[in-house]
Chain A
Amino acid sequence: MAATAPIFDLKLPRGLDFTLQNSPTPEKYLIETMPGGVALFDYNNDGLLDIFLVNGGHLTRPMQLPEKFDRANPRYWNRLYRQNKDGSFTDVTEAAGLATAGAGNYGMGVAVGDYDNDGFADLFVTSYGKNVLYHNNGDGTFTDVTEKAGVAGGGWSVSAGFFDYDNDGHLDLFVTRYMEWDTKHSKTCGGAWRTYCPPVEFPATTNLLYRNRGDGTFEDVSQKSGIAAKKGRALGVAFADCDDDGFMDIFVANDGMQQYLFHNNGNRTFTECALESGAALSTDGKPLSGMGTVFQDYDNDGKPDILVTVLPREIYALYHNDGAGLFSARSLEAGLGALTAGSSGWGVGLEDFDNDGWKDLLVAQSHVLNNVEAIDHSLHYMEPPLLALNRNGRFEHADSGITIPVAGRGLAFGDLNNDGWMDAVLTVLGGHPLVLMNRGGKRHWLAIKLRGTRSNRDGMGARVRVNRQTRFATTAGSYLSANDKRLHFGLDDSNTATVEVLWPSGTRQTLKDVRANQFLEIREVEQS
């Protein structure tokens, strides 16, 4: 049953004049259908969410070596938009020192985290090429510290995320990489219609894990942590402690193969266990075209579940956390069969858009192939985003308010206007981002900002329970994108809430009779 009124209004706020330049070519270079990321974060700590958008680059026909992508041209810059008090945005890219994206870097995604615990959110931008870590100087500017930090990586990086895998109070960094591919060794597939090749046509590659030494530098621990022991074709990544052992686990959405669940052994190593855990394949044991992913509790049982967006006829995969590190595929039971069998999903989030106490589903959609309609008349290249409201653990199609089909890719969530209702920003290949402003309503809500003391400063990885709902603090998840670090909870008709926080340090805190409809900062108690 559809909701009676649309949930969002589609806005293009004044000043937000970004166009995602992916530069499609007849050569069908795979990178051109994959960008770009979006981050919602408050870079200047003025209480308003700002927007960072990753751009692709210019592709020539054919590409000349060395690859340059024309990133010095403002048309291809990544952009930072500062939100003004009236809801408009100002492009502060140059002033913030973010105009330089690197000549050989075709932009992909973005991760946000305060890696040096200085109270200012830092940016990590992934690329086909080299990745860049921008340190937030706290004065409205950023400094490229990639070289010093040692996180440039290489190859084709896609989604990334900050998390504290060893609970040492410093945010570490996980970077997914798609495959071994470059423009020189690109090829096309298809018969009469030239298409992008499926991922299996190119060799798999490893993901990257960087351990934060706490001194502004990172150690590449991909090998010794066990992460690099598994090659894949990763596009999405999300973090949560799936077996309640106090250590964050990693879920990686792989394209055209099994998914990976890296269980954190608690000794700075990981064991890949998706197949044995039941989170690797479809209900029918088939590989998935995993793209975006989210690792949150959709059915309010306190355990983080996994949702993966995929290509048509596969059904978005929903792995229910059965406890003890085991999962079962619940896509059909949750209603995703009818909702998603004909769609292609990228960015994804489980957020409570109607504040009824259940996390809803929003997905950026569009097929990979921009000529898919010529090949298969039953499929569509551009699709409107999918909004499905959660009714006691079952998703039902709802009117998002956005009916125009777009080539959606990145998707980030946050409360842009601080009204207590979750908004979203969706990136569109070759187009402007869609800003989905929640129309709001009468239900109550609570937004929580964590302030770690013994744990990392933003409490990333904390498990926060509000009444019957649970969220894991993270900015990661979705596809290529980074979300508002504040934790949002719909309270339905409750005026108050009980809040329980389990910090990464192991500290537990409970707050009772917390007033609804407020932004609450919770500071980690310094002694247990």
Chain B
Amino acid sequence: MRHSVLFFCLALQSISPEGARHMQAGVEAHKQGRVEAAIAEFRKATETDPEFAEAFLDLGEELMQFHDYGAAVAPLKRALELQPDLDAAHLQLGYALLSLGYASEAIPHLERVHALEALGIAQIETGQYQEAVANLGAALVKRPNDPDLLYYLGRASGLLSKRAIDTLVSSHPDSARAHQAMGENYFVLRQMPQAEQEYREAIRQRPEIPGLQLELGLVYAGAAQWDKAEGAFRTEAKRQPGSAEAAYHLGTALLQQGKTHEARAELERAEKLQPDMPETLYSLGKAASLDGDLLLAEKSWTRVIALEKETSLAAQAHFGLASLYRRQGKISEAQREMQEFKRLQSAIEPPRSEPK
């Protein structure tokens, strides 16, 4: 509206006195938050001066503010007929059309004014995922933590990924990558036997693909088949000795089976490969505690707390420390950690109808 008012001031000399009065009254009503009155005044201005583009723009903008996107389209289009280079009208018309579901029609207007976020959303709607990812990514640079932007970028990326996978599966249905993709799908759906089958076929065809054994291991872990998970993670860790993720998962699989000494070694290796990963440190604390190395357990969990501070993993680390100190007979330290655990627990998960 501010732009429009500016245009209005500059263009006063080309408008009739009656039109100018309506425009002025419309601006005043707008300032006072009387949207309906503003709409009425701007509408009268368009009737009095049907060739005055700014009047149509202001009417359109005011209708947009009133969320009457359908009604806003006509005056905005008229504004652009009268003055095709009126960027504010392009922007508003783009928004209005997008809001009404006419994404394809909205795109040229949004492109013209580089409204990247709205353009990205419109491109998602029209299936131009790659372009949407580029535009939303660029918008995110300017507003890094905007939740709407993050959501739409995630959605665009996901759809782009899905399209690529769909193409892969339809064009090369028996390829290792297609089986891998199908395995991922089944895993998400928790259909573990089918996921296992797909990964096994992918591995049979191309055992050299990095990550396949890791993903197969995660399938086994999801089905609580820890011995098989250990085997898959071990193969992956052997193939990728520099992978902290493989070492971490192997460590957790070993830990789950009570092989605490081996678990500790793998988790220490994961920590060395990629230091200060809270999940690795937490599991390392557990393994060390069960392995009898209380110093290492204390050090690992203390580090988790330093890194995580107020998260549920930090709460778990406090709980672990409380158990550890209790075992050592350090009662006051145990009580302190338990208090911290309780505090974080209630902060993270407030009880519903929990007992007294």
A interface residue numbers (CB < 8 A to B): 200, 202-204, 229-232, 257, 275-276, 278, 281, 283-286, 312-313, 322, 326, 328-329, 332-338, 341-343, 376-378, 394
Q: CB distance A338 to B323 under 8 Å? A: no
Instruction: Give every chain B residue within 8 A of A203 (Cβ-Cβ).
Output: 353
Q: CB distance B355 to A231 under 8 Å? A: yes
Q: CB distance B327 to A394 under 8 Å? A: no
B interface residue numbers (CB < 8 A to A): 189-193, 222-227, 255-258, 260, 286, 290, 315-316, 318-320, 323, 326-327, 335, 338, 341-342, 345, 352-356
Instruction: Give every chain A residue within 8 A of B326 (Cβ-Cβ).
Output: 278, 322, 326, 328
Known: A276-B338, A278-B323. A313 touches B224 (CB 8 A): yes
Pairs of residues from A and B, 8 with the lowest C-beta to C-beta distance, nearest first: A285-B319, A342-B224, A231-B355, A341-B224, A337-B256, A204-B355, A338-B257, A378-B223
Q: Closest residue of chain B to A342, judged by CB?
A: B224
Out of A285, A335, A378, which one reaches B341, CB within 8 Å?
A285
Q: CB distance B316 to A377 under 8 Å? A: no
Q: CB distance B223 to A342 under 8 Å? A: yes
Instruction: Give every chain B residue within 8 A of A378 (Cβ-Cβ).
Output: 190-192, 222-224
Q: CB distance A285 to B260 under 8 Å? A: no
Instruction: Give every chain A residue within 8 A of B355 (Cβ-Cβ).
Output: 204, 230-232, 257
Can you list 23 A-B contacts (CB < 8 A)?
A231-B356, A276-B335, A276-B338, A284-B316, A284-B320, A285-B315, A285-B316, A285-B320, A285-B341, A322-B326, A326-B326, A332-B256, A332-B258, A332-B260, A332-B290, A335-B258, A337-B226, A338-B257, A342-B223, A377-B192, A377-B193, A378-B190, A378-B223
Q: CB distance A312 to B224 under 8 Å? A: yes
What is the distance, in angstroms, from B168's C-beta to the closest C-beta of chain A?
24
The docked-state distance in angstroms from the alpha carbon of A142 to that of B265 is 62
Q: CB distance A338 to B338 under 8 Å? A: no
The docked-state distance in angstroms from the alpha carbon of A202 to that of B352 is 10
- Please name 11 further chain A to chain B contacts, defined as beta carbons within 8 Å, in addition to the given A284-B320, A338-B256, A376-B190, sorted by A numbering: A200-B352, A200-B353, A202-B353, A230-B355, A276-B338, A337-B226, A338-B227, A341-B256, A342-B223, A342-B224, A342-B225
Instruction: Give every chain A residue within 8 A of B223 (Cβ-Cβ).
Output: 342, 378
Q: CB distance A337 to B258 under 8 Å? A: yes
The docked-state distance in angstroms from the alpha carbon of A484 to that of B355 is 34
Q: CB distance B356 to A230 under 8 Å? A: yes
Q: Closest residue of chain B to A277, judged by CB?
A: B326
Q: Closest residue of chain B to A324, judged by CB?
A: B329
The docked-state distance in angstroms from the alpha carbon of A328 to that of B289 is 11
What is the distance, in angstroms, from B219's C-beta to the closest C-beta of chain A?
9
Most chain-B CB neighbours within 10 Å: which of A204, A275, A285, A338?
A285
Instruction: Give every chain A residue within 8 A of B227 (Cβ-Cβ).
Output: 338
What is the distance, in angstroms, from B200's C-beta to the closest C-beta of chain A?
16
Instruction: Give every chain A residue within 8 A of B255 (Cβ-Cβ).
Output: 332, 337
